[in-house]
Each structure stands twice: as structure tokens, then as C-alpha cells.
Structure 1
Amino acid sequence: MFARETRWFPILAAVLIGAAMLSAPLASAQDLTKPAAPAEETKPTDPLGRETPEGLVRGLVKAMAEQDYARAAQYLDLGKVPASRRATQGRAIAQDLQQILDQGGWIASGRDLSGAPEGNLDDNLPPERERFASVRTPQGTVDLYLQRTKGAADGPDIWLVSQASVAQIPDLLGRVKAGILERIIPETLTGPKLWGVPAAHWGALLAWAAISFIVASVVLLSIRSGLRRFWRDRPDSVRMRLLEAAVPPLRINVAVWIFALGGIYLGVAVVARQVFGFLAEVVGWIGLGWFLLRIIDVAATVVIAKVTERARVEALSAIRFFRRVAKFLVIAAVAIVILDAFGFNVSAGLAALGIGGIAIALGAQKTIENLVGSLTLIADHPIREGDFCQIGDKMGVIEDIGMRSTRVRTLDRTIVNVPNGMLSSMQIENFSVKDKFWFHPALSLRYETTPDQIRLILIEMRAALYAEPKIDPSIVRVRYTGLEADYLKIEVFTYILVKDMNEFLEIQEGLLLKFMDIVNTHGAGFAFPSQTVYLARDDKPQAEKARIAAEKMAALRGLPPDDGANETEAHDDGAQTGDTGETDTTPEESKGGALTTLFRRIKLRL
């Protein structure tokens, strides 16, 4: 039902989930205190990673996972605790904080925590203050905050759990109720611990993830069934297509929402919830991306159907192109969010792209050229998918116009991929946009064909063309055009008013067969490349025809015919007797004028 571009999306989701499962425990429970690489080697850093709110939370959760409460106390602002009791009381406060978060609290996700030393300046809080956790109590939700303070004398400013939040911990400990797991599973049955979390908690989260997916599936399938009965639409209607496209990915997103909400009431350890929360966040973004891809497919399919119905096939390539662009943007956005969730500094990466933009542009010249070529093809639409074209020396059907190249199915049934940058500058002959076909055969008749035979053949060929209903009557030309080296040439020029190649070939076949019948009917034949040699005796020119020709030339010169003949005889006599060829002037010379005299002298000289 949907385009093939989305069939690999579940595979991508599985790969990302697997990577998240492998890296999430390490990122959330073991390497959470690993500080970011300093921008400069000489710049002092905090060994516990407390320079940013995100670094503090990671370090705190790692210390809790390892049950190292002495190190966890270093993430708390114990300024109101006497220095003599900070070591002992700090460990107790850190342990109480973990118990509060385990029973009814949740920590903000990595995307909500700022990775900048100055924190998030757009959260409607004072610049030196950040919310990092919330605790559910019978009286309502209580937020816990971080405070930016001065660090060591030669060190950077650091973030700590604020004194006000530390002071609330004893009170919250008495107000938070035990979770479901703590009430139904005795501590002795929780099993061994993994990353500081009882095995029962990990198993409970896995079971709850499966239950969440089942509940989400049942709810959404029930809603889909109810909407089908209420709408009573055809399966191919727009609303039903959107509904069918939305249900599978929405099951993932709803399951993630149910899982996140129920995890708090289960009372699962906050460390386990952080790991599964990270996985749930990744899966949720993948589900959202899948949802958007399917909606884009449905929207594009509906628009393509409308365009095809209105015979605006030139817009099909543009719709498919922009569908690919929209999918690319969705996948890129989801990938950026997931990379950010994994802890990659996406902002720094984008900044590096700005710095290295020139180098990237130089290295991606062909890619950019092909992309611009794609836009040119979309704007000018010289070709469309399904068109039969000749591109360079290749002829075939356009199967797909992609973002980088165009795929052509040749007559040999092979696939040729032409880069769009090259294609936009090539000469393209598109046979599919013909409004009519040019019919222009040339007939070669034998030289034995008489003029009367040619006249009859021309008349009947014109009649055959006019009798064909698909012939364009405004231009029908059948002419005898000349004497070639070995044949007599008849040319036909007209158009056949069809757009389909097969129909044109059928009509052309019928007309050519009619022409052959006409030629054979009148006793003529078609010439082959040949030469005819005639053998005969060499006859002298006929004297009578020579005399008539002489009289015509004499008349043209203005001389009496007899004088010309006598002068010729006198010239012949003089030649035989050795006369010089000169003659006396006669009275006719003075009467005929200078021109007559000139002609006569030239004649005698010759």
C-alpha cells in the first residue's frame, strides 16, 4: 500500500534500538560522569563533570548505580550542613535522595538537560537555576533544582543540587509512598543487583514494556474498529488510508507513553528507569518518524491519484521528488534527535559543518550538481516517469526520477542510471509527448515506368490517404520529386492523428500495403539499386533534323536561311581550295547591320 522507501524503516529502528540497548546502560549507569572533552587543554575542568546540568545528572546517577554515596554527596550543595558532619550526613542525604527518586520521582531526560555551562536560558527560570527532577507526592508534584555555584579557586563554576532542594529531602522522604514493587515483592526476593538495581526491577520493566505494547495495540485497534463503523467509508477513502497508516506507528508511541507513566507508579529504581527511559525515548522518536513517513506516503498517494485523474501527469515527477525530500528531512530530524539523546554534540557538529562548508561543497560538487539537476528536471519537466525517450545514444522508458539520478529501462531491458546533473544538460528526445506522428515514406519506381502510370499512381495514393480517417487532411502531399540515379522518386508527406505508437504503426502498415497494391495494379514495380546498359549501333545525326536546327538558329540570329547555307558551302569550298576564309562584303551586310556582319564573320571563322 505504501511506497517501498519505508520498508527498510523497521530494520533501521531495530538497529538503533539494539545500539541503544548496548550503549544505554554504559551511558546512563557507568560512563555518566565522563566529562566532555575540553575545548582547550589549558582550560581547567571539573573531574566529576559538574560543569553542565547534564554532566551533573549523569555523574549523580552513576554514583547511585554504583552505590557510591560518598561520591554522590559531592553533587549536593551541603553548605548548610556543618563541615564536621558533611561526610556522614552527605552520604545519608544522597541515599535518601535515591530512595525518593526510586519510589515516586523521575529525572528529566537528557534532551531536557542543558549541555552548556550556562544552562538553559529559555526555561523561564533564573539563569543560575535548572530543574533536574520531580517527585510525586499525595499533595502534588515537587520539583528539585540545580544551582550554579563557584567551584575551586582555580577551577570552573559547577552545578550542584541546590540547598533548597537538599533541605526538602527529609520532608519528601516521609511524604513519598512506597511503589507497587516494594509493596508486593519483599526485599529478600528482589534477586541480585545489576548496576545497583535488583534483578526483579529489570524484569518488571521488561514485563511492563510488553504489557504497555499490548494495551496500546488493543486500545488503538478498538478505536480503528469503532471509526470504521462510524465513518462507513470505502477502504480506499482518504480517511481510511490515513487511519490504516497511523495505527501501527501510533501503537509504538502510545506504548512508550504508557510505559513511562506506569514506571513511576511501579516504584522501579531510578537507575533502571533512566536506562529504560532512554530506550523509550529512542523508540518514541523512531515511532514518530515512522508515523510521519507513512502519512507522507498516504498524502503523496492521494495527490498522485488526483493529478492522474485530471491528466496532469507532468506533476507526477514533482510530487514523487518532494515526497522523497520530505522523507529525507524526517529521517534526518529523527537521526539528529537520537544522536543528541546518545550524547553527541549535534550543535558542535552543525557548527563544524558551517566551518567546513567550503570543503564539503568542494567535495560534494557532483552531489550538489545532481540535486540542482533534479530541481531543473522538476521545474522544466522535459521528461516524466513512464515516458519513452532517447537520451544520448540510449533509448528507453523513464522508470524513476530520483534526487541524484534518473533510471532508464532500455530496449534491451537493462537499467541505465543517468546523473541528473548530466541529464539536465543533455539533448532529450521525448517520444511520449507527440500529438501526432509524421508519415513520410519515399517510393522508388523503376525507370521503365511511364508518365501515365506515374500519374495514375499519384492519384490513387492521394485517394488512399484521404480515405484514412486518422490522416490530418490539412496537409496531404504526394509528389513525383525527381529522377534519381537508379529509380524514379515519389515522396509522401502527411501526419497521422494518433498519440500511441502501436496505433501509428498499425495505420502505417495498412497505408504502405495499399501503396504496394496501387503500384502493382498499374503494372509498375519498385526499383532496386542497379544500372541498365543499352547496346546499340552508333547512328549519325539525321540530316533533316540537323537542317531544321540550323534554320532555327539562323532565325534567332536574324539571317536568311539560304544565305547561311550558301555561306557554309562557300566556306567548305574555300577550305578545300586553300582559300584564307575571307570574303567580300555583300549588300546584305550593310542592310543587316553590324550585328549580322559579326555573326557571319564568326560563322566563317568557325
Structure 2
Amino acid sequence: MILGTKRFLSNFLLLMALLVMPNTVSSQLLGSAKTVTEEPEKIPEDSLGRRTPQGTVNGFIKAIADQNYLRASQYFVLSKRAYRKTAERIKIAKTFQQLLDQGGNLSPSSIISNKETGRTDDDLAIGVDLVGNISTNKIVIQLYVENQSDDSQPALWLFSAETVEEIVSADVTSEKTFLDRVLPNILLEKKLGNVPLGHWAVVVIMMVISYLFSRMLLFAFVFVVQKLWKKAESDRGRAIVEAFELPIHMFLGVILFVVLTQRMGISIVVRQRYSIIIITIGIIAFLILLWRLTDFVSTFTRKRMSLSGRISAVSTILFLNRTTKAAIIVIGIIAILGIIGVDVTAGLAALGIGGIALALGAQKTIENFVGSVSLIADQPLRVGDYCRVDDIKGTVESIGMRSTTLRTAARTIVTIPNGQLSASKIENYAHRDRFIFNPILGFRMETTPDQMRYLLVEIRSLLYAHPSVLDSPPIVRFTGITADALKVEVTAYIEAVNFEKSQEVQEDLLLRMMDIIEKSGTSLAYPSQTIYMARDISSSDEKSAEVSEIVKKWKNENQLQLPNFDPKRIEELKNSIQYPDEGSFRPSEE
């Protein structure tokens, strides 16, 4: 019993071990599979911000604004000997500032590249960027920054050795700026933001002077334009002058302000700070010009469309005007944010994704708008035209931005989306230059050959003689003998200003043809399937004999106009018929 119990316990423990072991082994295996992901070594930031050309220029301006010339010298490529001499480093930085104040110009911060690779779209070598220039009476220096590291090291942009060498060799001891010569010492010694107070005062004065002087130049420019351009006093001329007036004023003011402040020797620290404002004003002036030109084009295009009767185009012009203005606002905001220094790449990507989503959601709306633009551009139909679109016939009542409405003969309104309309087959009856006249006449089987000849000649003579039938040779042919009639097919074209007038001419021609048929002694055939209970009217033997005599006379005189008419006879017949006929009502013409 004890042995059995021991055997049971040993088997139980063995089974528990087998059940637990896989979990243990698997957990060991899982644990051993874990690997520690090594993070890439983070490149340390440069405390002076010299990783990009923009950072180098901004750091240098900040250093000289703080009058920390030793730190400013760390933005130069210096020789080991010059680097060890603190006094020489400070002297180079001060000389650089003095040259910039006298006639130097640095590119606005937002225009300088903010990438470690610098600009790659210019003609300079890779790793070299042009960031400004110095131009005085004696020297001209191009200011370059250069990446001093190779591909294995983080970027380090410094003012190039050539630039520093030209700065060191420049003689600035005898030169003073205009402000240094005219401003009192008190305004030069007192400083605001480490810039002499007199410089800030001169900036404000130059703003006022630039505004007034640019206003005077603009007035003179407008006066000259009005004298030289004869159409300047017209509505269109005044609109064009007004559109350009404010943007030109702003451009002139900015240009004068930049030139005056640079020539007077305003501190580069001040000029670099308001350079962003100047560029922003220039962008705003350009956007205002685009805005006003959009209004000008829209206004005069709408007037032209209204005068030509193309009222349907006005709504499209308004829509395009608003869309263009919205695009100007969006582009202006993006441009100004980019100048200020805001990274708009993510915003543009979001706008692109949003634009795709909007385009997918408004696919039908965009399709209808494009359709309306194509309808207005191609003009397959206009308001008031009678046309057929697929199986729908009606008169066009309106052409909108989304749809076009047709008034049918049943006086109902059918609305067709412009996207569908532009892809449909449109048959416009209003644009016809002529109207076809194509009756098929069936004569009785008892009609004699001479009667048929008489009918062919007289009907053709009628078409030649009628003033509303075009000169193109009409076709009157005996086309066949059927089980119930002798068929004659007539084809001619009626000249009329509209469909109603063509109906009037067609009515007159049919009535005259009935007179010819009645005079010939025969009559139109009735369908053989129809049973007539009335007594049949026999053909007139007397008229038949008379027609035979006429045809015989034609033959004897060689005047039978079959199979073709004599051209002389055609000229005699032209316009020989009075239309409207005698006795018809004729409205008096004013």
C-alpha cells in the first residue's frame, strides 16, 4: 500500500513538472529573444546655433547687438594665430559691424537657408551660401558663409576665410557714417536695445519722409500717365490707375526707406530687425495689386457679358472672382508665415490632404462647376435657345453654376446638372442657318405620266420661284411606285430667321402645291388600308386632257424641264412669286 502510494505521488509530481516546464522554457526563450534597441547617437546642439546659415547670421547679429564681440568672432573662420589673440578677434568683429553699418546689407533671416545643407539651388559650390554684401566708396565685399565640417560630422557654418580676410584688409579708421557725423553725442551715447537712440529716431523720421516722398512721386507718375495716355480719363483707364495706385505707393515707400536708411548708416542691428517687416509690406502690396486686378477684370468682364447678352456667364465670373480672392488670401498667409519664420510645410501637407478629401466629397459639385465653365466657354446653347438634350426638347430658361433648366412644350421645367449636360448630345435648333423642307407626296395610281411630268415641273418651278427658298437646287423626284401610291419626294431649304417663320413659309409652299395638284387633275392618294364609305371622286378627264396638251406643247417646243431645269428658266423664275400672297395681312413696318 505504501509502495503504491509512493508510486502515485512520484507519477503526479512528474506530470506537474511536465505541465510547468513548457511555460518556464517558453518564458526563458521569450526572455532571451528580447534585444535591447540601441538608440542612434544624438547629435549635440551647437550652443551658438551655427548648424545652418540662418542660425549663423542670426547668432552673429545677436552677438554684436549684445556688444559681445568675442562671441561674435566665433562665427568667423580664423587662423590659429588670430584665434589665440583675443584683441584681434574683437577688432575683426567690430570692423565687420562698422562695415555693415556704413554700407552693408544682410539678407533677411527668412530668406537665408535654414537647412544644414544650405542652399542647393544656386550657382555656388555645395556648402557655400551668399548671405549679403558690403558696398562703400572704397570696397565691395561679398559675404559668404561656408560649412566647415565634412559629411561624417555635424554641420558648422561660419563666415568664410576669404570674407574675413577682405574685412581685415578693409580700412575703416577714417570713415564715419552720416549719422555719426550729424547726430549729437547724447543721441549716440544713449542706447535702446544696445543701439544708439538716435538711430531709432532717424528710422521713424525716415518712415514719414519715405511715405511723403513716395506720395509725391506717385502723384507725378499719375499726372504723366493721364497726359500721355488718352484713355486714362475713361472708366477703364481710371479703374486701372486706381488698381495700381496703392501697391505702387507701398513699393516706392519701401524702396525709398531701404535706400535712405542704408545710405545714412543706420545700424545693421536695426535694419536686420525690420527687414522682415519690409518684405512683409512688399508681399502685402503685391497681394493688394492682385486683388484689385481681379476686381478690375471681373467688373469689366461682367459688363461685357451683360452687353453681349451672355447673362449666364455672369454667375461663373462672380464665382471665379471669389475663388481667385480666396486663393490670394491663402497664398498670402502662407507667404507671410514663411517670411516670419513659421514652418508651413506641415500646414501645406495638411491642406493637401484636406483638399483631396474635399475634392472627393464634392466630386459632383466640382464636376457640375467644370461643366458650367465648359458650357459658357463653348456655348453649345444659350438662354432662349430651343434644343434637344438626349430625349428632352425644350427652351433654355437659365444656365446656372450647378444646373441648366429647360422649359418643355408641356410647360414643365426640366433641370439638368451641368456635368451631365456637358457630356450629353445637344442638338440646338436655334443655331440653324436654314430649315429643311422635305415632304413626301403620294399620288393616286390613276395619275397619268403626263400629269406626273406636269407635277414635277410645276412643283420644281414653285421652289425655284419662291423668295424664301434658298438658291441651292431643290430636289423634286419621282422616287417610286408603291402598292397604294406614286411617290414624289421633295427636298429644299427654307431661309428664315427662326422656326416660326420657317413654319409660315412651309405652310405657304404646301398650299401652293395643293393648288398645283388640283390644277393637274389628279389628287393625293389615300392609304390602301383605309376603307372609305363615301363615293369615290373620279379624276377630271377635262383637266387631264388640258394637262396633256400643256406637256405636249412643252415637248414640241423643247421646253420640258425634265430631268433638269434650264438655267435661263431658273433665273426667270427666281423671286417671281409674291410672298406673302396677295390678300394676306402685312403688318406695317416702322
Classify the TM-score, shorter chain.
0.5 to 0.7
Task: Give the match for residue 325 of structure 1.
Answer: 323
Question: Judging changes above 3 Å, is the alpha-carbon distance between structure 1 residues 173 and 270 closer, same or farther for their aligned structure 2 residues?
Answer: farther
Residue of structure 2 equivalent to 1:88? 87
Task: Please list the CA deviations of residues 382-411 of structure 1 after superposition, one character each: whole Å capped at 9, or x if unmatched.
Answer: 9x9x99xxxxxxxxx99996xxx99xxxxx
Contact preservation (8 Å) 2:133, 2:143: yes
In the alignment, structure 1 segments of 5+ residues that lack a partner are 1-39, 388-396, 407-421, 427-434, 436-471, 477-606
The residue aligned with 2:335 is 337
Query: Residue type matched to 1:90 in 2?
Result: R
Q: Secondary structure of the equivalent of 2:266? A: coil
Taking structure 2 as the reference length, the TM-score comes to 0.55
Cα contact 1:224–1:243 (8 A) shared by 2: yes
Question: Which residue does 1:70 correspond to in 2?
Answer: 70
Question: What is the aligned partner in structure 2 of residue 287 from structure 1?
Answer: 285
SS at match of 1:275: helix
Match of 1:375 in 2: 370
Distance in 2, Cα, partners of 1:69 & 1:367: 60
Map 1:172-571; keep pairs closer than 5 Å: 172-174=170-172, 177-190=175-188, 192-233=190-231, 235-347=233-345, 349-350=347-348, 352-353=349-350, 357-358=352-353, 361-362=356-357, 366=361, 370-380=365-375
Q: Is the CA contact 1:46–1:155 (under 8 Å) kept in the aligned structure 2? A: no
CA separation in 1, counterparts of 2:171 and 2:220?
A: 41
Q: 1:221 to 1:41 in 2, by over 3 A?
A: farther
More deviation, 106-115/40-49 = 40-49
Aligned AA (2:211)? F
Q: Describe the SS at the equivalent of 2:102.
A: helix
Cα pair distance change 1:70/1:222, threshold 3 Å:
same
Structure 1, 47-56 or 363-372: larger mean CA deviation: 363-372
Measured against aligned partners, the alpha-carbon deviations of 1:66-118 in whole angstroms (never above 9, x if no partner) come to 22222212111113534431x33222221221121112111112343112211
Closer, same or farther: CA 180–82 of 1 in aligned 2, 3 Å: closer
The percent identity for this pair of structures is 26
SS of the residue 1:81 aligns to: helix
- Asked whether the equivalents of residues 107 and 132 of structure 2 are also in contact (C-alpha less than 8 Å), the reply is yes
- The residue identity in structure 1 corresponding to 2:77 is D
State the match for 2:37 in structure 1.
none
- Quick one: distance in 2 between partners of 1:138 and 1:338? 35
Alignment correspondent of 1:26: none
Indicate how the Cα distance of structure 1 residues 228 and 234 shifts in structure 2: closer, same or farther if over 3 A, else same: closer
User: Contact 1:45–1:155 (CA<8 Å) still a contact in 2?
Assistant: no
How far is the alpha carbon of 1:58 from its aligned partner? 1.0
1:202-246 CA-to-partner distances (Å, cap 9, x unmatched) read: 121111011111111111111112221232436334333211210
The code of the aligned residue for 1:114 comes to: S
Within 2, Cα distance between the matches of 1:375 and 1:110?
42
- Equivalent residue letter for 1:56: T
SS in 2 for 1:233: helix
CA separation in 1, counterparts of 2:398 and 2:186? 70
Once residues 310 and 175 of structure 2 are traced to their aligned partners in structure 1, the CA distance between those partners, rounded to angstroms, is 66
Give 1:100's aligned residue.
Answer: 99
Write the distance in 2 (CA, Å) between the matches of 1:291 and 1:475: 56
Count of aligned pairs? 366
Amino acid at match of 1:105: G
Q: Is the 8 A contact 1:137 1:175 kept in 2?
A: no
Conserved in 2, the CA contact under 8 Å of 1:93 and 1:169? yes
Q: Distance in 1 between matches of 2:235 and 2:205?
A: 38
What are the Cα deviations for residues 553-599 of structure 1, in whole angstroms up to 9, with x where unaligned? xxxxxxxxxxxxxxxxxxxxxxxxxxxxxxxxxxxxxxxxxxxxxxx
Give the Cα–Cα distance (whole angstroms) in 2 for the partners of residues 377 and 334 of structure 1.
Answer: 29
Question: Which range moved further: 201-210 or 191-200?
Answer: 191-200
Distance apart, 1:176 and its partner CA:
8.2
**Could you say which residue in structure 2 is the equivalent of 1:144?**
143
Q: How far did 1:148 drift?
A: 0.8
- Cα displacement (A) at 1:184: 0.2
Q: In the alignment, is residue 49 of structure 1 matched against residue 54 of structure 2?
A: no
Q: C-alpha distance in 2, partners of 1:50/1:370?
A: 51
Post-superposition shift, 1:336? Answer: 2.2
Does structure 2 retain, via aligned residues, the 8 Å contact 1:137–1:177?
Answer: no
User: Following the alignment from structure 1 to structure 2, what is the Cα–Cα distance between the partners of residues 234 and 268?
Assistant: 41
Distance 1:139 1:88, change over 3 A: closer
Partners of 2:276 and 2:339 within 8 A in 1: yes
Q: Is the 8 A contact 2:83 2:89 kept in 1?
A: no
For residue 348 of structure 1, report the CA deviation from its aligned partner.
5.1
Matched to 1:335, the amino acid is I
SS at match of 1:330: helix
Q: Tell me how far apart the structure 2 counterparts of residues 154 and 95 of structure 1 sit (CA, whole Å).
A: 34
Could you say what secondary structure the match of 1:174 adopts? coil
- 1:357 Cα deviation (Å)? 5.0
- Determine the C-alpha separation between the residues in 2 that align with 1:312 and 1:271: 59
Cα displacement (A) at 1:332: 2.8
Contact 2:106 2:272 in 1 (8 A): yes
1:67 partner letter: Q
In the alignment, which residue of structure 2 is the partner of 1:59? 59
| Amino acid across the alignment from 1:181 | L
| Equivalent position to 2:157, from 149, 156, 159 | 159
Q: 1:372 Cα shift?
A: 4.7
CA distance in 2, matches of 1:208, 1:132: 25
Tell me which amino acid in the other structure corresponds to 2:161: Q
| Residues 375, 124 of structure 1: alpha-carbon distance in 2 compared, 3 angstrom cutoff | same
The 3-state SS of whatever aligns with 1:110 is coil
Letter in 2 for 1:97: F
- Confirm or deny: 8 A CA contact 1:103 1:176 kept in the other structure: no
* Number of the residue aligned with 2:446: none
- The worse-fitting range, judged by mean Cα deviation, of 265-274 and 102-111 is 102-111
Distance 1:359 1:217 in 2: 44
1:112 and 2:115 are equivalent in the alignment: no
How far did 1:165 drift? 1.1
- Contact kept? 2:239, 2:296, Cα under 8 Å: yes
Contact kept? 2:312, 2:399, Cα under 8 Å: no
Alpha-carbon deviation of 1:45?
Answer: 2.9
Question: Cα 1:188–1:332, aligned 2, differ >3 Å: closer, same or farther?
Answer: same
1:192, 1:399 → 2: CA distance? 71
Secondary structure at the aligned position of 2:172 is classed as: helix
Change (3 A) 1:60 1:234: closer
Q: 1:81 corresponds to which letter in structure 2? A: R
Aligned to 2:130: 131
Structure 1 pair 226/275, CA: closer, same or farther in 2 (3 Å)?
Answer: same
Contact 2:372 / 2:400 at 8 angstroms: preserved in 1?
Answer: no
Quote the offset at 1:50 in angstroms. Answer: 1.2
SS across alignment from 2:135: strand
Q: CA deviation at 1:328?
A: 2.9
CA–CA separation in structure 1 for the residues paired with 2:234 and 2:147: 58
Q: Which amino acid aligns with 1:141?
A: V
